[in-house]
Amino acid sequence: MNGRRRGSRYGRYSGGPDPLAPPIDLSEALKSIADDVMEGYSAQRALREYLRRGGRDQLGLDDLAGRVQARRRDLLSRHRLDGTMAEVRKLLDDAVLAERKELARDITLDDLDRDFRELTLENLPASTPSAVQELAGYDWRSTEARTSYEKIKDLLGRELLDQHFAGMKQAMENATDADREAIREMLADLNQLLDKHRRGEDTPGDFDEFMAKHGQYFPENPSNVDELIDALAQRAAAAQRMLNSMTPEQREELLQLSAQAFGSPELMAQLGQLDANLQALRPGEDWSGSERFDGSDGLGLGDGTGVLQDLAELDALAEQLGQGYGGARMEDIDLDALARQLGDEAAVSARTLAELERALRDAGYLSRVEDGSLKLSPRAMRQLGRAFLADVAERLSGRTGQRDTRLAGASGEPTGSTRQWAFGDTEPWDVTRTMLNALRRSSSSPPSPLSSRRTPGSPPVQTGDTSEIPGQARDDAAGRPRPPSPLPQFSLQLDDVEVTETESRTQAAVALLVDVSFSMAAEGRWLPMKRTALALHHLISTRWRGDQLQLITFGHYAKSTSVEELTGLPGLRVQGTNLHHGLLLAEQLFRRNPTMQPVLLVVTDGEPTAHLTPEGEAWFSYPPSMETLRVTVTQLDRLGRIGAWVTFFKLGDDPGLNRFVHQMADRVDGRVVSPDLDDLGAAVVSEYLEARRRFWA
């Protein structure tokens, strides 16, 4: 020990994304975006809507924009712009009062001189600038009064400098004549540099020389002349907007008082030239805007200019957060400005949204089509199907007596291959492959010092066990028993598990008919219907790959559609419920797969009001015509004769629909289910599983 104390210093992490930040929840974002897509939004708009709304524990752009507007309103309602004028008035009153007291007790003055001085003080103009000007040549008897009066000139000079160079008011407090001369020299050199830049005659060396000489006045530490001009022009434009925001009387008084700054007209001339140079170099800044302040907290010129800069920055943030302009991107948001105005939490929220948008693209959930727009990728569709199926499984597990139905028919004849375990799998584990996966993964990563620890009551963790394994111990040459060989350390994770692929003993051809008439969208049934289709599609494509699923939409016409097309299908004003055409397409599916068991699942909220004529045209009639009902019933009878398992899922309480579906189901020994919308997916999947169980049994 050398006796020296060691310490640590901690500051804000600035090496990139926060390593302690919670992971981005892509699943929540994906489901929210998919819901909007299924409601009819484009993927691009759905993504923008999610970024606007935010997530369950994530602020959205609208929340941040609302805070920006609240901050703006607070600044305007809290302040007024006459702070400098009020301070000058107070210094003037202090000077006059101190002088009067001195005149009253000064016995060396003759009466005539005293009367003249008192008369001068008594008849000062009501206007503060005029009073200050009137006393410019006054011979003060009171030292205190003279000091207060000189402070007026010093205050005005510091305020005017603070308008153009942030922090100058404090830096120039108690300044000497040498300090003021240095400021005048800096202004002259600055104007000379800007003049040369405006003519295109400056060089990088000119800037370097200027900063080496006057860099202490520029805490922004610009790296080139353009950055210097940007910083100065933004503040100068804010100063001009502050002047424009004053009342005409306030503005006139300020202009009159400015001539008294430091008692130096040259200073005002240099500042005026600086403003002219900056306006010429940066005409795009807002030099003409104004704001209405109606608060009680008076602002000086420098502080007021800072508030106007804040307002300008808030306006820019509002535009960035609104993302309403062409080519808007999350990267446009100025995170540093957001942190300055709303705090670090707001900047973290905006950064998280940007990272979330980027992650959705990088993860392959959003892909671009030929026209440059976005769409949900096949990977996104699989993820959504998995999520919706998990919801269905949770609902099924909560039903009394549904456990056997959900698991029935999962195992069949082994195919000789294996695959990674997925939620809902009931196939037997391939223990050899599972353990081999765990060993490979564990050997590629360093062992954890906690791998052999257990918490009370927790199940044992499979790690390297040094206990003797029966049948493995052997004696050495000396006859002594050898110590048991330790097993390599490893732990088992879900990703390691592989299950034996099986081929179902029974295959099914499944036709899911979904009503896409306008009433489905108008009554809020659009999204549950699409979620149901996605869940069933994912179940069949991952669990029973030998089954054939065909999604059939029926409105004015019926159409076989892919799950991607159905997901993005908008809710249009489709006239007609052409169940007849949908049943025709279902029969074609069943005829193409004669060795499979036919399963017909129909989701609808209305009676059939259209049918397909022999010429292939859709014929609509409301109320339903007898011909529409006749051909629909006839087509259903054909499906009944080939042994189709038929289930109608009735949405809504329409008496005509209720009567129709029950009569239809009775004709083919089918079933009618009236699920709640939230339970539609579970009801459809349950019927599919029940059909498979019956066929396999």
CA 31/CA 98 separation, integer angstroms = 74
Q: Are 518 and 526 in contact (CB under 8 A)?
A: no
Using the 8-state DSSP alphabet, how is residue 674 labeled? Answer: -
Instruction: Give the position of tokens 């300090």.
Output: 179
Q: Are 577 and 606 in contact (CB under 8 A)?
A: yes
Long-range contacts of 448-455 (CB under 8 A, 24+ apart): 451/489, 451/491, 452/489
CA 664/CA 648 separation, integer angstroms = 9
In the prediction, which pLDDT does 389 show? 74
- Identify which of 264, 260, 341, 236 has the alpha carbon closest to the alpha carbon of residue 84: 260
Helix boundaries (H) for 323-363: 335-342, 344-362
Task: Name residues whose C-beta falls within 8 Å of residue 169's C-beta, 6 or more positions apart in sequence.
Answer: 158, 159, 161, 162, 300, 302
Q: Peptide bond preceding 623: is omega within 30 degrees of 0, i.e. cis?
A: yes
Angstrom CA distances, 479 to 109, 475, 476, 683, stand at: 127, 5, 5, 69
In the prediction, which pLDDT does 401 show? 42
In the prediction, which pLDDT does 483 show? 60
Angstrom CA distances, 503 to 409, 547, 693, stand at: 10, 10, 15
Task: Name residues whose C-beta falls within 8 Å of residue 213's C-beta, 6 or more positions apart in sequence.
Answer: 186, 189
For the chain, which residues score pLDDT lower than 70?
1-25, 39-42, 261-264, 369-373, 397-416, 423-426, 444-490, 502-506, 572, 696-697
In the prediction, which pLDDT does 68 show? 93
CATH fold of the domain at 506-696: Rossmann fold (3.40.50)
In the prediction, which pLDDT does 462 show? 47
Name the residue ranges covered by the structural domains of the chain. 26-79+314-376, 82-292, 410-447+486-503, 506-696
- The first and second tokens of residue 253, run together, are 């008084």
CA 360/CA 47 separation, integer angstroms = 9
CA 695/CA 505 separation, integer angstroms = 10
Instruction: Give the position of tokens 């008897």.
Output: 141
- The secondary element (H helix, E strand) that includes residue 161 is helix 143-164
State the DSSP string of 221-235. --SSHHHHHHHHHHH
- Identify which of 689, 688, 662, 663 has the alpha carbon closest to the alpha carbon of residue 674: 662
Angstrom CA distances, 299 to 75, 87, 165, 313, stand at: 11, 10, 16, 18
In the prediction, which pLDDT does 17 show? 52
CA 413/CA 422 separation, integer angstroms = 19
pTM for the whole structure: 0.61
Helix boundaries (H) for 488-576: 518-522, 526-543, 563-567
In the prediction, which pLDDT does 467 show? 43
Residue-wise pLDDT for 282-328, tens only, equals 999 989 888 888 888 888 888 888 898 899 899 999 999 988 777 77
- Identify which of 668, 629, 662, 631 has the alpha carbon closest to the alpha carbon of residue 646: 668
